[in-house]
């Protein structure tokens, strides 16, 4: 149980760390998207007012932001190509519905940031459950040990009885206890990783 608990604790710490890292990555990506959206609005407004210089200025800002911060996954979702020049960015903003659709409106996409962390935390829970099951099995083996101890005690005192019927009764009870303990022991699943060959160096 101690080994399982330690491993589970380590996995839990790793999973929580990955979860926090995923949250930070999500926040950073959302900030990047918000900046891109702001410049998209500037392009659309400039197009309506005929301010061509502003359109190109905002397009270049989008290009630089995407080159340094945009992930390939988000780029694919919003239909952005890292090879776009300023004219292509303007066309993309004005004509592509994907360009103004937030990738973070997709709950499954947001959840995907935490997939790796969930896997590690699930493994931590599984290891802990396995350890608890092994601990229960260990308690059961202790009960078998107690039964054997009682059997040995009874066999040890059988000689103190002078009457044969009493000796027979104690012996029969001891044998019954031994058989019960043995049968019960072999019905208990062995702890995880247990191997009889380990007693022989196997």
Pair (82, 167) in one structural domain: no
Q: Which domain holds residue 194?
A: 137-200
Tell me the C-alpha to C-alpha distance, in Å, between residue 130 and each of 1, 6, 140, 188. Answer: 8, 12, 15, 15
DSSP structural state of residue 91: H
- Tokens standing for residue 56: 């190109």
Task: Calculate ∠ Cα 111-15-13, nearest 5°.
Answer: 150
The pLDDT value recorded for residue 191 is 55
Q: Are residues 7 and 85 in the same domain?
A: yes
**Which pLDDT does position 66 carry in this prediction?**
94
The verdict on 71 and 35 lying in the same domain is yes
In a domain, residue 118? The reply is: no
30 with 71, same domain: the answer is yes
- DSSP assignment of 130-176, as one string? HHHHHHHHHHHHHHHHHHHHHHHHHHHHGGG--SHHHHHHHHHHHHH
* Model pLDDT, residue 170: 82
Tokens of 106: 């997709």
21 assigned to some structural domain = yes
Closest by CA to 78, choosing from 28, 121, 29, is: 29
Same domain? For 17 and 60 the reply is yes
Closest CA to 120 of 19, 42, 198, 36: 19
Kind plus residue range of the DSSP H or E element containing 200: none
- Compute the Cα dihedral for 120, 121, 125, 128 and give only its sign: positive
For residue 65, being part of any structural domain is answered with yes
Total tally of structural domains belonging to the chain: 2
| 77 assigned to some structural domain | yes
* Tens digit of each residue's pLDDT, the chain (202 residues): 457 677 888 888 998 999 999 999 999 999 999 999 999 999 999 999 999 999 999 999 999 999 999 999 999 999 999 999 999 999 999 999 999 899 999 999 999 999 999 999 998 888 888 777 666 666 666 777 887 788 888 878 877 777 888 788 888 888 888 888 787 777 766 555 555 444 344 4
Q: Give the torsion through C-alpha atoms of 61, 66, 70, 75, to 10 deg.
A: 120
Helix (H, G, I), strand (E, B) or coil at 95: helix
Residue 154 pLDDT: 80
Domain boundary among 113, 147, 174: 113
Which pLDDT does position 43 carry in this prediction? Answer: 95
**Residues 99, 166 share a domain:** no
Residue 126 inside a domain? The answer is no
50: region left, alpha or beta (phi > 0 left; psi from -120 to 50 alpha) = left
């Amino acid at each position: 149980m101690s080994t399982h608990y330690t491993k589970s604790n380590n996995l839990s710490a790793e999973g929580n760390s990955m979860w926090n890292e995923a949250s930070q990555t999500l926040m950073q990506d959302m900030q990047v998207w918000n900046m891109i959206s702001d410049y998209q609005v500037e392009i659309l407004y400039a197009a309506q007012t005929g301010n061509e210089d502003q359109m190109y200025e905002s397009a270049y800002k989008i290009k630089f932001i995407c080159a340094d911060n945009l992930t390939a996954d988000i780029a694919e979702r919003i239909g952005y190509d890292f090879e776009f020049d300023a004219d292509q960015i303007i066309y993309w903003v004005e004509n592509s519905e994907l360009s103004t659709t937030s990738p973070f409106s997709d709950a499954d996409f947001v959840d995907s940031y935490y997939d790796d962390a969930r896997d590690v935390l699930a493994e931590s829970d599984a290891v802990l459950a396995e350890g608890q099951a092994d601990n229960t099995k260990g308690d059961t083996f202790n009960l078998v040990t107690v039964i054997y101890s009682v059997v040995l005690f009874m066999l040890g005192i059988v000689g103190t009885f002078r009457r044969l019927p009493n000796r027979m009764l104690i012996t029969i009870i001891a044998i019954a206890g031994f058989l019960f303990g043995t049968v019960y022991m072999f019905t208990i699943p062995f702890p995880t990783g247990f191997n009889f060959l380990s007693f022989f160096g196997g």
